[in-house]
Structure 1
Amino acid sequence: MKHILTSLCLLLLLACTGPQQQSSKQQQSFYQSMSSLCGQSFSGKVVFPADGKDPFAGAPLMMIMQNCSDSTIRIPFIVGEDKSRTWVISKTAEGLQLKHDHRHEDGTPDEVTMYGGMASTSESELEQRFPADAYTAELLPAAATNEWTLALSPDGKTFSYILKRDNQLRFRADFDLTKPLE
């Protein structure tokens, strides 16, 4: 009986840690792929909404892969002349975290900053999804159902930043990884 109980406990432990370890491997691989782009800048364009009604539509978009370390990648996201946005991908004890760091021109934090979430379980090394966390829901109640996706295309040519709200696509920008900017 003692051996059966021990075996059941071990099986339960394996069942609880298996997917998390797999997800962790996927997150580590995604992080490494993103880190490999460090020091480069890429132009992008709004893909959705395609009707041009998004305030970013028509503005030049650029992401700069900078400030990469073993635990954090900071990616300034520039829209036209507006340099107020930075995506921050961090490794934490719970997994990958995405935060949106918004700053004023003088560098002080915006009132609405550091919203985002933790990566959910992923079966892909190319894509990570970040549902809104409790801080985001408190800071921006309308964003409580947000899910941000960061994705690398299978051919390695495109990086996509995708926002869904209430499970509906709200925004997508694609960046061309084949032509780093000078």
Structure 2
Amino acid sequence: MSKHQHNAFTWLVFSILTLTSMHATAFKTPLNVLSDKMQTPPALSLSQITPASQNSFFARIRALCGQSFAGKIKVDTSNSPNFANKALVMHVRECTDDQLHIPFHVGTDASRTWILTKTGGGLLFKHDHRHADGSHDDLTMYGGHTVDSGSAHTQAFPTDPYTRDLFIAQGYPQSLRNIWEVFIYEDTFTYRLTREGFEFRVEFDLTKPVVTPVTPWGYY
């Protein structure tokens, strides 16, 4: 074999090996990265991504599940007759890992239920208002969302975007800066609403459970 033929043969062998390698690479089955447990860890629960202080706050209220407690108005700068001289009872009625339903009974009025929910970004506090037939009031599901981690004993809920839109639509511009607060200690549970020039606060005695009221309107 001449030198020229040898070089040509060598080039042919090199070309064949290169093409073979490229072919194998091009059609090689890719690694199934998406099914790799190291690449896709299990989804975290809402509790796992909720600040410890908020989990503790939520757990303190959930520990009361199934119980009812009597309350008293401590402050009401509006002097509204809606709450005066009426039995006030809160009932920690429905409890899951991520949500609590707490009816707030005012005399025979069972229209109000507070709803506390873990969102993944904090805690959401809502007011579910119903009519006696179970239908929603025009002013319902308003409330606020936490903007910081708060503490194991107190959380604050400034108005959320839905609530601001609802208050404007329903003609309550004075309520756009509402801040709801909930306090939970060993002996007391307190609900507080404030805005400029206004405060409403009701405190419940946790040391003396009372008889559970009727089913709140709209619930079963």
Query: 2:57 matched to which residue of 1?
Result: 30
Secondary structure at 2:66 match in 1:
coil
C-alpha distance in structure 2 between counterparts of 1:71 and 1:38, whole Å: 13
C-alpha distance in structure 1 between counterparts of 2:119 and 2:78, whole Å: 38
C-alpha distance in structure 1 between counterparts of 2:87 and 2:54, whole Å: 30
- Range with greater deviation from structure 2 (132-141 or 72-81): 132-141
1:152 correspondence with 2:179: no
Decide whether the 8 Å contact of 1:90 with 1:96 is kept in 2.
yes
Secondary structure at 2:52 match in 1:
helix
TM-score w.r.t. length of structure 1: 0.81
Aligned pair partner of 1:173 in 202, 207, 218 = 202
Aligned pair partner of 2:152 in 92, 105, 125 = 125
C-alpha distance in structure 1 between counterparts of 2:80 and 2:132, whole Å: 26
* CA root-mean-square deviation: 2.0
Shift of 1:42: 0.3
Secondary structure at 1:107 match in 2:
coil
Q: Deviations over 1:65-97 (max 9, x none)?
A: 011011110000000000000000011121110
Decide whether the 8 Å contact of 2:77 with 2:200 is kept in 1.
no
Decide whether the 8 Å contact of 1:43 with 1:175 is kept in 2.
yes
Q: Which amino acid aligns with 2:129?
A: H
Aligned pair partner of 1:47 in 50, 70, 74 = 74
Decide whether the 8 Å contact of 1:148 with 1:163 is kept in 2.
yes
Secondary structure at 1:177 match in 2:
strand
Decide whether the 8 Å contact of 1:23 with 1:123 is kept in 2.
no
Q: Which amino acid aligns with 2:103?
A: P
Shift of 1:22: 10
Shift of 1:25: 1.0
Larger radius of gyration: 2
Percent pairwise identity: 45
Aligned pair partner of 1:101 in 128, 135, 138 = 128
Unaligned runs of 5+ in 1: 1-20
Q: Which amino acid aligns with 1:174?
A: E
Query: 2:174 matched to which residue of 1?
Result: 142
Shift of 1:24: 1.3
C-alpha distance in structure 1 between counterparts of 2:78 and 2:129, whole Å: 26
C-alpha distance in structure 2 between counterparts of 1:118 and 1:89, whole Å: 10
Superposition misfits of 4+ residues, deviation over 6 angstroms: none
